[in-house]
Structure 1
Amino acid sequence: MKKPPASTGRTDPFFDLLARPPHKQRLPDYLALLKPLDDQGRYLPFEALRYRWAAGLDANLCWALVKKARAAQYIHLLPLGEPVQWGKYVSTPLARKTLSVVDRHTSTAALEYMTSQIGERAHFSYLLNDLIEDEAIASSQLEGAATTTRVAKDMLKHQRQPRTPDERMVMGNYRMMNFAWEKRYEPLSVELIAEIHRVGVEGIDDEQYSPGMFRTNDEVVVQDGAGNTVHRPPPVTGLVLRLARLSGWINQPDGSILDNNFLHPMIKAITLHFALGFEHPFRDGNGRVARALFYWFMFKHEFAAFRYIAISLLLRNAPVKYGRSYLHTEADELDPTYFIEFQCSVILRAVVGFTEVYRKRLNDLRANHFAPV
């Protein structure tokens, strides 16, 4: 049996610090924090964890222990921003649960099976179109559109021309979702990102949005409801090159699922959503494009049921948490795990809602003795 290398006698200065007073007396309490998640399996930021540590512990040392544990499990995702930082990710129980549900219920094969079980008699296609409209409307309302869901649905169902800027926003999002579906087999490129934006915002207020045109200065910032700047995107210099770099990462072959660096398409799609929002390449409409690109990537990887799963419906009801997931990522050395965690919670609820609609419709049919066509 080969023996392990002999110790050099040098200790990690980090643990050496724990061996000294006053921390030595609380060593078990400190070492209990050497894990990436809290006791409930949550990936929390510093501002949330610091209230959960035992009284008398040094907050900076506690956080250093958590970060040390996370660093050991980081999966490097992609380079972001200028200067470049690597976005990294820790796999969590919530993410693994969401991936399992997505794999089982949203693949193209799963959707085909659901459709065959219900059949044409149930007018399933009508139900699905209704769900497509939900995403277009909710995404617009998330960006500030004031139109009601009922009025917006009436406009889309009857394909009447929009009468207000808010209705034009809804119609633009509807076209953008359909465009993402039509272009699902194209590789990502700077040109495709610009075209998705053009399709989504053209005709709303061209002077405000500059459809299909990237920002030309560093005046674009993200503000909170009180007008405070909460995100200043990377400089416009090098923007197109960074989008090309992002496209190259997205277009990389997935590789074998047995590979150590395999990344599930949903995690990659959420990261694309984050990266577009982080870069903020357009004067306005960035959130809509980022969400459309998430869908586009899921479509590309044969998760066709996402055409009928409205994540913006849930994001609209939690805009503060949506925004904070961006801020926590940026504040913590570009760790998108916070953003991925929040998106997984939203996607999980959206997929469960979608399957419940299907099961209710199927049970109604069985109760009325209808058989699939």
Structure 2
Amino acid sequence: MKKPPKLKGRTDPVFDLLGKSPHKERLSDYLALLKPLDDQERYLPFDELRYRWAPGLDSNLCWALVKKARTAQYSSLLPLGEPVQWGNFMLTPLAHKAVSAVDRQTTTAALEFMTSQIGEHAHFSYLLNDLIEDEAISSSQLEGAATTTRVAKEMLKRKRRPRTPDERMVIGNFKMMNFAWEKRYEPLSVALILDMHRVGVEGIDDAQYSPGEFRGNDDVVVQDGEGNTVHTPPPAAGVMSRLQLLAKWINQSHNDPEHVEYLHPLIKGIALHFALGYEHPFRDGNGRVARALFYWYMFKSDFSAFRYIAISILLRNAPVKYGRSYLNTEADDLDLTYFIDFQCSVILRAVSGFTQICQNHCGSGLARSHRV
């Protein structure tokens, strides 16, 4: 992946460059790029945009124009790393669509209304329990668990003891998701993060995972499929204080729409997901804890339908895009828009799938009631 060029100092001098040869002869072509999105309203990284610019244009100057338009719409999001750097983002049309879908279809009130329309309530309750299992299974498979969905579901439904480390991973994830639901009324704390990790990985391979303990050294890195290091987490020293800072930000209220710091819970939950993955505080199991914390925050924010919405099924089917959304953010000065947009696209599809299931059962239930 080619990283975007670093822009030195203020980007205002870009307009001085546009007035000089050879750029001024292509002035209209350059000025058409002074916008944060492409013509299809996508928030693309430099590595993809550079192939879409007209031949003959200076790619560094093109990027400077795009970046100038984006920074004008940035909002500071949360503190990350060591030394502390604030991650930024802008709310894209895709994010707006995801926020709207979440508000309309996943609140506790919306869930209660949908379930009240179902004819065979016992059958629907069985279906909801089935959906609860999906996230635990797919999150484990995303991390490499070599077990089929059918076998994993059979184990969970029969409460059979796990026979392999992969099955223990599924059980751990299932317990962690239930733990996230049970602890939804608690504030975020370092102790809660540690407990979530312990619940999720204890008994899988304790020597590998060190359940409920932060890594003590800097030998943990994130690698791609070819063994290349793509992310070096912040140093182990200071992990406690950085996560305390993260918890303070999460526990701070951003719910007042009249306030300049208003932030929708979906965006805040996605930011929490990113922050845990970026920090990588554990020897292993970081991705599972990061996704569980996203769910915990959505539960906490009264979006109860997320208990039945399995985001990891879609992430499992697009692991490269999932990983690249992290890398694009880190490569572009912690612009979290890339990660937020990818997660919003996944959440939109997951919410739509859940709503369709509910509507199908609602329709069949109403049809049966009419026949009676």
Looking at structure 1, the residues matched to 302 and 370 of structure 2 have their Cα atoms a distance apart, in angstroms, of 30
Looking at structure 2, the residues matched to 97 and 31 of structure 1 have their Cα atoms a distance apart, in angstroms, of 28
Within 5 Å, give how 1:170-209 maps onto structure 2: 170-209=170-209
Residues 276 and 290 in structure 1, CA contact (< 8 A), matched pair in contact too? yes
**2:114 aligned with 1:114, yes or no?**
yes
Question: In structure 2, the residue corresponding to 1:112 is in which secondary structure?
Answer: helix
Within 5 Å, give how 1:197-276 maps onto structure 2: 197-276=197-276
Aligned identity (percent) is 74
Corresponding letter in the other structure for 1:23: H
* Deviation of 1:124 (Å): 1.6
* Deviation of 1:253 (Å): 1.2
Residues 117 and 366 in structure 2, CA contact (< 8 A), matched pair in contact too? no
Aligned equivalent of 1:287: 287
**2:148 aligned with 1:148, yes or no?**
yes
Corresponding letter in the other structure for 1:349: R
Cα deviations by residue, 1:197-252 (Å, 9 ceiling, x for unpaired)? 00000011101100000000000001111111111001111111000000000000
Moved more, 345-354 or 77-86: 77-86
Looking at structure 1, the residues matched to 243 and 120 of structure 2 have their Cα atoms a distance apart, in angstroms, of 43
Residues 255 and 264 in structure 2, CA contact (< 8 A), matched pair in contact too? no
Residues 119 and 366 in structure 2, CA contact (< 8 A), matched pair in contact too? no
Unaligned runs of 5+ in 1: 1-10
Pair 1:371–1:125, CA change in 2 (3 A): farther
Corresponding letter in the other structure for 1:31: L
Looking at structure 2, the residues matched to 370 and 150 of structure 1 have their Cα atoms a distance apart, in angstroms, of 35
Looking at structure 1, the residues matched to 249 and 205 of structure 2 have their Cα atoms a distance apart, in angstroms, of 32
Question: In structure 1, the residue corresponding to 2:290 is in which secondary structure?
Answer: helix
Aligned equivalent of 1:19: 19
Corresponding letter in the other structure for 2:210: S
**2:348 aligned with 1:348, yes or no?**
yes
**2:64 aligned with 1:59, yes or no?**
no
Looking at structure 2, the residues matched to 371 and 70 of structure 1 have their Cα atoms a distance apart, in angstroms, of 57
Within 5 Å, give how 1:160-171 maps onto structure 2: 160-171=160-171
* Deviation of 1:123 (Å): 2.2
Within 5 Å, give how 1:301-320 maps onto structure 2: 301-320=301-320
Residues 131 and 309 in structure 2, CA contact (< 8 A), matched pair in contact too? yes
* Deviation of 1:12 (Å): 4.2
Residues 122 and 365 in structure 1, CA contact (< 8 A), matched pair in contact too? no
TM-score, length-normalised on structure 2?
0.95
TM-score, length-normalised on structure 1?
0.95
Cα deviations by residue, 1:172-218 (Å, 9 ceiling, x for unpaired)? 00000000000001000111000000000001110110000000000
* Deviation of 1:15 (Å): 0.7
Corresponding letter in the other structure for 1:84: V
Structure 1 vs Structure 2 CA RMSD:
1.4
* Deviation of 1:367 (Å): 3.0
Looking at structure 2, the residues matched to 326 and 355 of structure 1 have their Cα atoms a distance apart, in angstroms, of 28
Number of aligned pairs?
A: 362
**2:322 aligned with 1:330, yes or no?**
no
Looking at structure 2, the residues matched to 169 and 281 of structure 1 have their Cα atoms a distance apart, in angstroms, of 19
Residues 188 and 251 in structure 2, CA contact (< 8 A), matched pair in contact too? yes
Unaligned runs of 5+ in 2: 1-10
Residues 132 and 307 in structure 1, CA contact (< 8 A), matched pair in contact too? yes
Looking at structure 2, the residues matched to 155 and 202 of structure 1 have their Cα atoms a distance apart, in angstroms, of 18
Residues 365 and 371 in structure 1, CA contact (< 8 A), matched pair in contact too? no
Looking at structure 2, the residues matched to 366 and 236 of structure 1 have their Cα atoms a distance apart, in angstroms, of 57
Pair 1:340–1:371, CA change in 2 (3 A): farther
* Deviation of 1:366 (Å): 2.7
* Deviation of 1:254 (Å): 2.1
